[in-house]
């Protein structure tokens, strides 16, 4: 498919296209599941005084590995993706900025106002201090520290933006329009209440409960950008902009729980 034009695919081509849209995200998530597995088998031990960094902070090598694997898969499957038409970039940037602002403002207010934990945690009003810390890779301003930071930004700004949008908007939105096997003949960005509700809620539940509200708003905005622009490229750009702003916010405030 190119732009608003759809093309008929053979069963083999349709299957290959589906695999290309689904596998990168599922492999990406599967690698993340290695953290609790490493803890279960006793490799991961949260004790930096007695164990080397690769055991007390395995995310420092696991997340870069996850990033490299995802990039390789995206390159292998690249010919199966249809990002065009390239339009609505201004709307995508605006959507990314609005969406991520809604996502981080509750936590920012929580921190600045000195709020206590309560039921409002479900709306994002909670502490965000605990999370991936690049200082575990090396002292502040060391080569290893900045390498960790750089890989983190590559992961969230490029890899996450591509693998998630390729799956959520590129595949699942279409799949829900025609589950009988002809979903690739559905034009990208076609609206239906079923696809909006299912895609947005699944996107929301893929995040932590404290992120549900932000993910619900952001997912709704991204769905709107997809419908409005008919462009997967716009959705990827929106996600990349949002995650870039989020990463900068984390670096400036130390609110590591956001990334």
173-182 pLDDT per residue, tens:
999 998 677 8
Q: Is residue 1 part of a domain?
A: no
Question: Per-residue pLDDT averaged across 217-234, rounded?
Answer: 97
State the residue range of the domain holding 129: 11-258
pLDDT score at 142: 87
DSSP letter (8 states) at residue 136? G
* pTM, 2 dp: 0.91
CA–CA dist 105, 207 (Å, integer): 17
Check residue 7 and give its pLDDT: 61
Percent of the chain with pLDDT over 70: 96
Residue whose tokens read 């997340």: 63
Above 50 in pLDDT, residue 124? yes
Residue 159 CA from chain centroid, whole number: 8
CB neighbours of residue 230 within 10 Å: 18
**Which one is predicted more confidently, 49 or 1?**
49
Number of domains in the chain: 1
Q: Is residue 89 part of a domain?
A: yes
Average pLDDT over residues 237-258: 96
Q: Do 128 and 255 meet the contact criterion of CB atoms below 8 Å apart?
A: yes
Token pair, residue 8, equals 């008929």
- The confidence score (pLDDT) of residue 138 equals 79
Q: What is the mean pLDDT of residues 205-215?
A: 94
Task: Determine, yes or no, domain membership for 2.
Answer: no
Establish if 3 belongs to a structural domain: no
Cβ distance 235 to 90 under 8 Å? Answer: no
Cβ neighbours of residue 8 closer than 8 Å, sequence gap 6 or more: 185
Of residues 244 and 140, more confidence is placed in 244
Predicted confidence (pLDDT) per residue in 58-115, tens digit: 999 999 999 999 999 999 999 999 998 999 999 999 999 999 999 999 999 999 999 9
Q: What percent of the chain has pLDDT over 90?
A: 77
User: Mean pLDDT score of the chain, rounded to an integer?
Assistant: 92
* Residue-level pLDDT at 6: 57
**DSSP, residue by residue, 108-125:** HHHHHHTPPPSGGGGGT-
**What confidence tens digit (pLDDT) does each residue in 28-70 have?**
999 999 989 998 998 988 888 788 888 888 999 999 999 999 9
Q: Could you say which DSSP state residue 51 is in?
A: S
């Amino acid at each position: 498919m190119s732009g608003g034009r759809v093309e008929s695919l053979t069963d083999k081509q349709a299957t290959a296209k589906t695999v290309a849209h689904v596998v990168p995200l599922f492999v990406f998530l599967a690698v993340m599941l290695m953290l609790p597995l490493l803890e279960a088998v006793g490799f991961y031990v949260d004790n930096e005084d007695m164990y080397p960094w690769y055991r007390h902070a395995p995310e420092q090598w696991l997340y870069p590995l996850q990033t490299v694997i995802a990039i390789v898969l995206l390159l292998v499957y690249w010919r199966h993706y249809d990002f065009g038409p390239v339009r609505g970039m201004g709307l995508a940037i605006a959507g990314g900025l609005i969406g991520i602002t809604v996502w981080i403002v509750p936590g920012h207010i929580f921190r600045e106002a000195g709020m206590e934990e309560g039921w409002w945690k479900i709306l994002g009003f909670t502490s965000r201090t605990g999370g991936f810390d690049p200082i575990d890779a090396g002292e502040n301003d060391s080569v290893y520290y900045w390498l960790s930071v750089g890989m983190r930004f590559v992961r969230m700004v490029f890899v996450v933006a591509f693998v998630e949008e390729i799956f959520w908007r590129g595949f699942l939105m279409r799949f829900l329009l025609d589950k009988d096997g002809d979903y690739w003949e559905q034009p990208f960005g076609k609206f239906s209440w079923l696809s909006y509700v299912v895609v947005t809620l699944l996107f929301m539940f893929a995040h932590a409960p404290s992120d549900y509200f932000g993910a619900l708003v952001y997912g709704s905005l991204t769905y709107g950008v997809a419908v409005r622009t008919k462009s997967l490229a716009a959705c990827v750009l929106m996600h990349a902009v949002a995650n870039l702003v989020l990463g900068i916010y984390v670096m400036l405030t130390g609110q590591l729980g956001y990334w």
